[in-house]
Amino acid sequence: MLVITFWRPINKASEVRTEVIVVTDKMVKNDRYLIYASDNVYEITDSWLMGRFDSSDLYGKIEVGKTYKVKVGGKRDHFLSAYPCIHEVEEVKEE
């Protein structure tokens, strides 16, 4: 259990990349902010490694049906119920 305690925060700050997603749904499940996209499920969590502590505000800005460019860290781990973490969001405007 100790490994999981240290692994989750480190995972959320690893493999940082930018992705474009279309939000299909969002919900709070077991005190976790989850964002469902067409190809993956993401989590929004405060991260002391990334210096971000505004999960509730970020979650509230995201709207279902919209397209976003997101800065994401971590990867999906089904065994540990870990999701990639969204750190930054920018709406992609349709032209």
CATH number reported for the structural domain that contains residue 64 in this entry: 2.40.50.140
Number of compact structural domains in the chain? 1
Judge whether residue 5 has pLDDT over 70. Answer: no
User: What is the predicted pLDDT for the residue at 95?
Assistant: 66
User: What is the predicted pLDDT for the residue at 17?
Assistant: 92
Residues 89, 27: Cα–Cα separation, whole Å: 17
Q: Assign 32 to helix, strand or coil.
A: strand
Quickly list DSSP for 59-73.
HHH--TT-EEEEEEE
Q: What is the pTM of this model?
A: 0.82
Burial of 70 (0-12, 13-18, 19+ CB in 10 A): buried
Domain limits at 36?
2-91
Query: Could you tell me which of 95, 50, 93, 49 has the C-alpha nearest to residue 71?
Result: 50
Tell me the percentage of the chain whose pLDDT exceeds 70: 84
- When pLDDT is averaged across residues 1-29 and rounded to a whole number, the result is 76
**pLDDT tens string 18-57:** 999 999 999 999 888 999 998 899 999 887 776 678 899 9
